[in-house]
């Protein structure tokens, strides 16, 4: 009898319910605590004054299995509670230094599960979806300002995105999938099925899902929480999906499959895919994946970017007067970058000659000629360590007014390369 919900049609049923419980109590020695039990009255109830109502009457809302039900606003109340929990969780995770990769993982494995359960009872309102999205991107960027378009962030890494889970879409999908499965798949007899069919069958007809059965009751006055279901199906062009494929993960995958490839300026679409695969390579650390990706997608807080948003007085490179600080300047054209590449000539000679190096190698991992997979992988790692050193030197110069020499930077590159060889060795040991 723990956490049981019982529907009673009138006060006589309530009295019968109490009597049944008492009878059961006498036989088993267990006792129902009526004072702790709650009731909610729907419609008109004329309570008899002779027999007091045995349960605490809740006027507005009642919580059943962790979700609020009752008068209008129950859904929002449930979501507000969940969002508060999410904010606490994200607040704690924000204290750590995480890469975007790491944050996407936290969102998928720590944040989404907190919300998924509620989404089965109540689909999230537009306002709730907006609040979730705001929280997600504040967490990702560590500030109110986004540095890359949200639609790009949601795309898969091999299409130029960061694979950030689109939580509102996943939650809406969870609700829709439940509705579809309940009404089109489940066998007769479940209460949830009959209730959902009452309101959803007329909607399904609108989608020409020919499961129309007018022998069972149906209702055209659909409550608001079912209203978004058809909208979701149409929005994502899922009309043709077979009933057994309606699973949130499958639906989300299909939605992501509709994403277009992010283009890299100056490169053909086919090459763009290679670039994104390089950037998201499992052979790079998460930090380097982020840095390489941001250098292309404009996610780095460079002066040209900050100046355009009125967040920086100058848009010029700290080393080159009157030359705009863009990522291709910082990592390639800037004399400091060229000087460091010269200093790395020896390291480069293992994979690609210094004089054949182009900005495509540094930024995109596209090397001239064919050096074989392993040499190319090493070269791409070296390029990432180089960019890491350049980025660190740039930040030290701007934030601390410290100048790093080429020798300092080269040492840094060496220590980063050493980290990679340690990473390889532990991978190897795991395999062994
Ligand atoms: Zn410069």
User: What is the secondary structure of 130-156 as a DSSP string?
Assistant: HHHHHHHHHHHHSSS--SS-HHHHHS-
Query: Looking at the 3D structure of the chain, how many domains does it have?
Result: 4
pLDDT at position 212 over 70: no
CA distances from 59 to 12, 40, 42, 55, 70 (A): 20, 7, 10, 12, 9
State whether 328 and 407 are in the same domain. yes
Report pLDDT digits (tens) over 299-339.
899 999 999 999 899 999 999 999 999 999 999 999 999 99
Please tell me whether residues 296 and 240 are part of one structural domain.
Answer: no
Question: Residue 270 pLDDT more than 90?
Answer: no
Verify that 98 and 47 share a domain, yes or no. Answer: no
pLDDT digits (tens, 9 = 90+) for 150-188: 999 999 999 999 999 999 999 999 999 988 888 876 666
The answer on 371 and 228 residing in a single domain is no
Together in a domain, 292 and 405: yes
List pLDDT tens digits, range 373-424.
888 899 999 999 999 999 999 999 999 999 999 999 999 999 999 999 998 8
Locate 246 and state its tokens. Answer: 């309606």
Instruction: Tell me the residue range of the domain where 140 lies.
Output: 74-165
The secondary structure element, H or E, covering residue 61 is strand 61-64
If you measure from the C-alpha of residue 393 to the centroid of ligand 1, how many angstroms do you get, rounded to a whole number? 12
**Bridge pairing between strands 61-64 and 67-70:** antiparallel
268 CA distance to ligand 1 middle (Å)? 28
- Centre of ligand 1 from the C-alpha of residue 390, in Å: 11
* Cα 326 to ligand 1 centre (Å): 9
State in Å: Cα 267 to ligand 1 middle.
24
- Is 426 found in the same domain as 288? yes
177 C-alpha to center of ligand 1: Å? Answer: 53
Q: Based on the domain organization, do 227 and 198 belong to the same domain?
A: yes
At residue 371 the predicted structure's pLDDT band, cuts being 50, 70 and 90, is: confident
- Residue 4 in any domain: the answer is no
Question: Residue 65 domain-assigned?
Answer: no
Residues with CB under 5 A from ligand 1 (ion): 317, 319-320, 334
Same domain, 129 and 275: no
**pTM beyond 0.85, yes or no:** yes
Q: How much distance in Å is there from the Cα of 318 to the middle of ligand 1? A: 7
CB contact at 8 A, 287 and 300 = no
Residue 68 lies in a domain: no
Contact present, 342 and 354 (Cβ < 8 Å): yes
Buried b (16+ CB within 10 A) or exposed e, 154-182: bbbbebbbbbbbbbbbbbbbbbbbbbbbb
Å from CA of 57 to ligand 1 middle:
72
Evaluate whether 402 touches 394 at the Cβ level (below 8 Å): no
For residue 140, tell me if it sits in a domain: yes
Same domain, 281 and 402: yes
Q: Are 131 and 102 in contact (CB under 8 A)?
A: no
> Within a domain: residue 200?
yes
Same domain? For 192 and 147 the reply is no
Task: Tell me, yes or no, whether 287 and 149 share the same domain.
Answer: no
């Amino acid at each position: 009898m723990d956490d049981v919900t019982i529907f009673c049609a009138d006060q006589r049923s309530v009295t019968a319910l109490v009597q049944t419980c008492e009878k059961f109590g006498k036989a088993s020695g267990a006792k129902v605590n009526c004072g702790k039990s709650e009731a909610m009255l729907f419609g008109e109830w004329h309570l008899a004054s002779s027999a007091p109502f045995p349960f605490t009457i809740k006027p507005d809302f009642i919580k059943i299995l962790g979700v609020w039900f009752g008068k209008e606003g129950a859904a929002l109340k449930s979501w507000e509670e969940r969002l508060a929990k999410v904010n606490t969780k994200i607040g704690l995770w924000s204290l750590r230094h995480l890469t975007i990769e790491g944050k996407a993982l936290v969102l998928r494995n720590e944040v989404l599960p907190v919300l998924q359960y509620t989404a089965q009872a109540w689909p999230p309102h537009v306002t709730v979806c907006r609040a979730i999205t705001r929280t997600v991107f504040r967490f990702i960027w560590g500030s109110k300002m986004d540095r890359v378009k949200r639609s790009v962030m949601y795309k898969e890494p091999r299409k130029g995105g960061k694979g950030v889970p689109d939580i509102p879409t996943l939650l809406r999908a969870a609700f829709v999938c439940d509705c579809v499965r309940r009404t089109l798949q489940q066998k007769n007899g479940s209460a949830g099925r009959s209730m959902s069919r009452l309101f959803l069958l007329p909607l399904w007809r609108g989608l020409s899902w020919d499961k129309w059965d007018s022998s069972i009751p149906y209702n055209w006055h659909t409550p608001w929480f079912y209203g978004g279901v058809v909208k979701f199906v149409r929005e994502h062009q899922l009309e043709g999906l077979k009933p057994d494929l309606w699973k949130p993960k499958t639906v989300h995958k299909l939605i992501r499959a509709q994403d277009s490839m992010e283009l890299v300026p100056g490169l053909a679409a086919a090459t763009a895919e290679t670039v994104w695969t390089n950037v998201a390579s499992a052979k790079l650390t998460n930090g380097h994946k982020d840095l390489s990706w941001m250098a292309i997608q404009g996610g780095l807080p460079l002066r040209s970017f900050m100046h355009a948003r009125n967040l920086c007085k100058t848009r010029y490179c700290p080393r080159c007067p009157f030359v705009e600080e863009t990522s291709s300047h910082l990592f390639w054209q800037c004399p400091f970058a060229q000087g460091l590449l010269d200093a790395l000539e020896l390291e480069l000679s293992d994979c690609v000659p210094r004089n054949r190096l182009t900005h495509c190698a540094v930024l995109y991992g596209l090397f001239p000629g064919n050096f074989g997979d392993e040499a190319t992988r090493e070269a791409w790692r070296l390029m990432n360590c180089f960019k890491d050193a350049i980025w660190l030197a740039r930040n030290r110069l701007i934030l601390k007014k410290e100048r790093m020499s080429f020798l300092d930077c080269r040492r840094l590159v060496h220590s980063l390369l050493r980290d990679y060889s340690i990473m390889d060795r532990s991978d190897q040991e795991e395999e062994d």
